[in-house]
Amino acid sequence: MIKIIMLTERQLNRFWSRVNKTDTCWNWVGYINKDGHGRFCFNRFTYFAHRVSFFIQYGEIPNDMCILHKPQICHNSACVNPQHLYADTISQNNKDKIIDGTSLLGELNPQHKLNEKQVIEIRTKYKTGKYSHRFLATEYNVSRRLIACIINRIVWKHI
């Protein structure tokens, strides 16, 4: 993890000039990535804008911690309001994405190779005891590892 160092007054002014404060969310109006999160560059590094905002308000971010939007308050990835942010684990971030409906599970994931119907078929066929991982992998044109992950609910566990 790259630690955010102290920002100069000029950098702070540049950061806040890219924020549109409303009564609720403080929207980042600078560069936004494909996931809707703001990005801010300084000292030759690029940071998520919400992480910079959290750092400005609360100080150093603990190692291995994500800065998350409170799912009960804010569903806006571009929001940098420190009152809408908290530090927690990657695991909690993934749970929040599911709660918010912003997780790229199953067919929403651009890298999906199967659909929900096929996943249910795979699990149903495997439970009969008549089909091996190898057979199912060949039938659905995927790897044996993916078949094992589907059967063991490592992937597609929401189904």
Task: Note whether 46 and 124 are same-domain residues.
Answer: no
Task: Note whether 51 and 86 are same-domain residues.
Answer: yes
What are the backbone angles phi and psi of residue 33, rounded to the nearest 5°?
Answer: -80, 180
Q: How many CA atoms lie within 13 A of 37 on its CB side?
A: 15
Has residue 48 been placed in a domain? yes
For residue 20, the cross-strand partners are: 27
Task: Note whether 33 and 53 are same-domain residues.
Answer: yes
Which pLDDT value is given to residue 98?
61
Task: Note whether 18 and 68 are same-domain residues.
Answer: yes
Residues whose CB is less than 8 angstroms from the CB of residue 98 and which lie 6 or more positions away in sequence, other chains included: 105, 158
Query: Letter for the amino acid at 24?
Result: T
**Mean pLDDT, residues 98-114:** 63
* Total of domains in the chain: 2
Give residue 59's domain range: 9-103
Task: Note whether 62 and 31 are same-domain residues.
Answer: yes
Q: Which of 11-20, 102-111, 148-157 has the highest mean pLDDT?
A: 11-20
Is 88 within 8 Å of 95 (Cβ atoms)? no
Distance CA 71, CA 68 (A): 8
Confidence of residue 1 (pLDDT cuts 50, 70, 90): very low
Task: Note whether 88 and 111 are same-domain residues.
Answer: no
pLDDT in tens, 39-80: 999 888 899 999 999 999 998 888 788 898 887 788 888 999
Task: Note whether 96 and 61 are same-domain residues.
Answer: yes
Task: Note whether 36 and 96 are same-domain residues.
Answer: yes
pTM comes to: 0.64
